[in-house]
Amino acid sequence: MQNIKKALVTGITGQDGAYLAELLLDKGYHVTGTYRRTSSVNFWRIKELGIESHPNLQLVEYDLTDLGSSIRLMQNVQPDEVYNLAAQSFVGVSFEQPVTTAEITGVGAVHLLEAIRIVNPKIRFYQASTSEMFGKVQAVPQKEDTPFYPRSPYGVAKLYAHWMTVNYRESYGIFGCSGILFNHESPLRGREFVTRKITDSVAKIHLGQLDVLELGNLDAKRDWGFAREYVEGMWRILQADHPDTYVLATNRTETVRDFVNMAFKAVDVALDWSGSADNEIGTCKKTGKVLVRVNPKFYRPAEVELLIGDPAKAQKELGWKPSTTLEQLCQMMVEADLRRNQAGFSF
Ligand code: NDP
Ligand code: GDR
């Protein structure tokens, strides 16, 4: 029998988990994807990608906060590669649930590292690190050696998991890698994140299903890329000769307000922001109707104001380079949300 590579992907019900599973199946891997036991399991993303019933995909129940089941999972699957994508990944919620976030997003990663150390230290490990670890701006563009200064319980938890990955690499020789990924979006993005909230709301406003889009800080700047290209980067990171840390980013930054303008442009609406002192109200240039306004309830206790990444190391050593522009990404997301809302459902 041919030697089929086995991958374990935690968080397959999330955006990246779904795209990564699709990529690995295309490459001929056997993929074990983990999901949490909930009262209503949601596989809409893997269904949208058409991989839910793929013969080489196995779905198993697993919770990252349980050390014993992390060890048993590793023993049962005996993977060649582990991609740890599971996390409480919403920054806003991490301020409300700091301890749960620490347990899942921080300590959870160490459960997998321990399981690898116990079961088979040769298993390659990818940790989903984040630009949120850079937090308060220390230098731009941010790269692998930029000092960290996280600004949320989520960022702090991720920084712990990041350093534990580095520590297991240095202490036990584990092939532990960390991808410091800047924001990446897609039609499969969760609706709580700002880009998808915007594209879904723009689609609803266009279809007459919503009046106004309410947002928090419109001045925050993010380096947004396309998720499908970023999961390819994760895979490349684990195929390298040596375990290491890499930044994946586009090296372009825009404000949330810029993304709002882009999304409305995709449905031929131009916005005027001049009606309020702080550019906090967006009206339709043609009709004068208020379409966007700031609601302070969406502000965070501490904000990450500016993210722009330098992916030069990944480009040089892994040959990874993003190619989808933000305009193309935004258009793709608005079109998907128009289709979904027209059909009467939106996840
Ligand atoms: P999502 O929030 O879409 O997915 C997170 C996944 O983690 C879901 O499958 C979720 O399951 C699962 N999960 C949550 N808690 C647990 C738990 N206790 N045990 C097991 N699984 C759990 O995130 P993304 O796909 O966007 O991101 C993937 C990873 O990359 C995350 O770790 C995120 O923090 C990180 N990251 C993301 C970036 C981005 O821009 N998207 C940028 C940088 C890093 P359920 O469906 O049940 O909630
Ligand atoms: P982020 O993404 O916090 O960067 O984390 P998010 O889309 O939630 O916020 C981006 C920026 O938009 C501002 N913002 C709003 N955000 C949300 N969610 N809702 C709003 O109404 C709103 N209004 C303004 C935020 O304040 C912020 O500045 C994402 C997650 O995927 C993390 O898991 C990942 O690690 C980082 O990206 C990189």
d(CA 230, CA 106): 22
The three-state secondary structure class of 181 is strand
Dihedral sign of CA atoms 176, 178, 179, 181 in order: positive
Bigger pLDDT: 252 vs 347: 252
pLDDT tens-digit map of 283-332: 999 999 999 999 999 999 999 999 999 999 999 999 999 999 999 999 99
Query: Hey, what CATH topology would domain 194-219+255-303+331-342 get?
Result: UDP-galactose 4-epimerase; domain 1 (3.90.25)
By DSSP bridging, strand 30-35 and strand 6-10 are parallel
Q: Atom 16 of ligand 2 has which residue's CA nearest to it?
A: 194
Catalytic-labelled residue, pool 10, 105, 130, 253: 130
Q: What six digits make up the tokens of 9?
A: 């992907």
Q: Atom 7 of ligand 1 has which residue's CA nearest to it?
A: 86
**Residue 64 near residue 85, CB atoms below 8 Å:** no
ipTM passes above 0.90: yes
Mean pLDDT calculated for residue range 63-88: 98
pLDDT tens-digit map of 241-253: 999 999 999 999 9
CA dihedral 319, 116, 93, 346 (to 10 degrees): 60
Helices (H), 191-325: 194-206, 227-239, 256-265, 312-318
By DSSP bridging, strand 81-84 and strand 124-130 are parallel
The three-state secondary structure class of 78 is coil
Taking the centre of ligand 1 as the mean of its atom positions, its distance from the CA of residue 310, in whole angstroms, is 23
Mean pLDDT calculated for residue range 56-67: 98
Q: Which atom of ligand 2 lies closest to the CA of 194?
A: 7
Q: What's the pLDDT at 131?
A: 98
Q: How many helices (H) and strands (E) does the chain have?
A: 12, 15
By DSSP bridging, strand 221-222 and strand 254-255 are antiparallel
**H/E/C letters for each residue in 23-64?**
HHHHCCCEEEEEECCCCCCCCHHHHHCCCCCCCCEEEEECCC
Q: Atom 36 of ligand 2 has which residue's CA nearest to it?
A: 183
d(CA 149, CA 306): 13
Q: What is the mean pLDDT of the chain?
A: 97
Q: What's the pLDDT at 172?
A: 98
d(CA 305, CA 300): 11
Q: What six digits make up the tokens of 94?
A: 């991490």
**Residue 346: pLDDT over 80:** no
Which ligand is located closest to the Cα atom of residue 61?
1
Q: Which atom of ligand 2 lies closest to the CA of 299?
A: 26
pLDDT tens-digit map of 194-203: 999 999 999 9
Catalytic-labelled residue, pool 154, 168, 230, 246: 154
**Residue 287 near residue 268, CB atoms below 8 Å:** no
Q: Which atom of ligand 1 lies closest to the CA of 13?
A: 9
Taking the centre of ligand 1 as the mean of its atom positions, its distance from the CA of residue 317, in whole angstroms, is 27
Which ligand is located closest to the Cα atom of residue 65?
1
Regarding the beta carbon of 94 and ligand 2, being less than 6 Å apart is answered no
Catalytic-labelled residue, pool 34, 35, 83, 132: 132
Whether residue 132 lies in the annotated active site: yes
Domain ranges of the chain: 6-186+224-252+306-323, 194-219+255-303+331-342
Whether residue 165 lies in the annotated active site: no
Q: Atom 13 of ligand 1 has which residue's CA nearest to it?
A: 86
List of residues 6+ apart from 8 with CB closer than 8 A: 31, 32, 34, 73, 74, 77, 79, 81, 82, 83
DSSP state of 147: P
Angle between helices 15-26 and 227-239 (to 10 degrees): 60
Regarding the beta carbon of 271 and ligand 2, being less than 6 Å apart is answered no
CA dihedral 210, 216, 218, 222 (to 10 degrees): -110
Instruction: List all residues whose CB is within 6 A of at least one atom of ligand 1.
Output: 10-11, 13-17, 36, 38, 62-65, 85-89, 104, 128, 130, 181, 183-184, 190
Query: Hey, what CATH topology would domain 6-186+224-252+306-323 get?
Result: Rossmann fold (3.40.50)
Which ligand is located closest to the Cα atom of residue 293?
2
Taking the centre of ligand 2 as the mean of its atom positions, its distance from the CA of residue 183, in whole angstroms, is 8
The three-state secondary structure class of 107 is helix
Q: What's the pLDDT at 1?
A: 52
d(CA 234, CA 181): 9
